[in-house]
Amino acid sequence: MTDFTPTEMMTIAAARQLTSRDVCFVGIGAPSAACNVARLTHAPDITLIYESGTIGTAPDVLPLSIGDGELCETAVSTVAVPEMFRYWLQGGRISIGFLGAAQLDKFGNINTTVIGDYHHPKVRLPGGGGAPEIATSCGEIYITLKQATRSMVEKIDFYTSFGHGDGGDHRARLGITTKGPTLLITDLAIWRPDPVSKEFTVVSLHQGVTRDMVQETCGWTVRFADDLEQTPPPTELELTTLRDLQARTAAAHGGSKKGN
């Protein structure tokens, strides 16, 4: 079996969750890699949408930002950003939003704004962009994140994108009718929200990962499913597709992009 890195496992595990029927609003970074691996393998008819207004894009390399020309050049159509958000996103036409996070809590609330006090932050992050609207308007939300106690925290420093709030029916009480975060994929495990409490629960451990490893890299007390599974390792096709995509990206952007 070919060796693979935890990041490669995370990306491929995320890609497997997508189908050709999905209309997916794609975040830059790990979400973009996962969505394009899905498109290049088992989900060729998936519709990928980026925040800049590109619909049905099929990039040959991973974009550096939503403004990357590769997205527009390969799109079926490109619309104005206000139309993208008002008609496509807020109109309920996008089934899945795929997001990353700087900080995440156990109810899927995301912080990409600041670390520390808002007025005197330790770190000022890039901000939400369209993620707050994606989090409430897409049918459901998938999240990818590398595990670390600094990123998986008991309480996030700032609510950029609303997940399940305080848990339970918090979304419904606010009048939000979409499902919110239904899947979290990290470099160690696959998590899904408890049907009632909405707290993320580990349902599958990646190969070689233990419960202790998951807990040691998480800032809250982790819940594990009773019927805990093991994530199947990447196939040769999945790994080759991801690595070739990353190699093309590195060559096109004149830098290096490794999977670990």
Residue 90 lies in a domain: yes
Over residues 21-27, mean pLDDT: 94
HEC profile of the chain: CCCCCHHHHHHHHHHCCCCCCCEEEECCCHHHHHHHHHHHCCCCCCEEECCCCEECCCCCCCCCCCCCHHHHHCCCEECCHHHHHHHHHCCCCCCEEEECCCEECCCCCEECCEEECCCCEEEECCCCCCHHHHHHHCCEEEEEECCCCCCECCCCCCCCECCCCCCCCHHHHCCCCCCCEEEEEECCEEEEECCCCCCEEEEEECCCCCHHHHHHCCCCCCEEEEEEEECCCCCHHHHHHHHHHHHHHHHHHCCCCCCC
- Residues with a known catalytic role: 51
Residue 78 lies in a domain: yes
Q: What share of the chain has pLDDT > 90, as a percent? A: 88
pLDDT tens per residue across span 154-192: 999 999 999 999 999 999 999 999 999 999 999 999 999
Chain centroid to CA 247: 21
pLDDT of 255 = 54
Q: Which domain holds residue 65?
A: 6-253
Instruction: Give every strand in the sheet of 181-186, ordered side by side.
Output: 77-78, 54-55, 47-49, 23-26, 96-99, 140-145, 181-186, 189-193, 200-205, 223-230
Residue 122 lies in a domain: yes
Matching residue, tokens 């093309």: 248
pLDDT of 259 = 45
| Dihedrals phi, psi of 15, to nearest 5 degrees | -60, -35
pLDDT of 108 = 98
Separation CA 190–CA 201 (nearest Å)? 8
Residue 258 lies in a domain: no
Per the structure, how many domains does the chain have? Answer: 1
Residue 198 lies in a domain: yes
Residue 1 lies in a domain: no
Res. 256 pLDDT band, cuts 50 70 90: very low
Over residues 95-112, mean pLDDT: 96
Separation CA 168–CA 28 (nearest Å)? 29
- The CATH number of whichever domain residue 156 belongs to comes to 3.40.1080.10
Q: pTM of the full predicted structure? A: 0.92
Separation CA 244–CA 104 (nearest Å)? 30
Residue 68 lies in a domain: yes
| pLDDT exceeds 80 at position 248 | yes
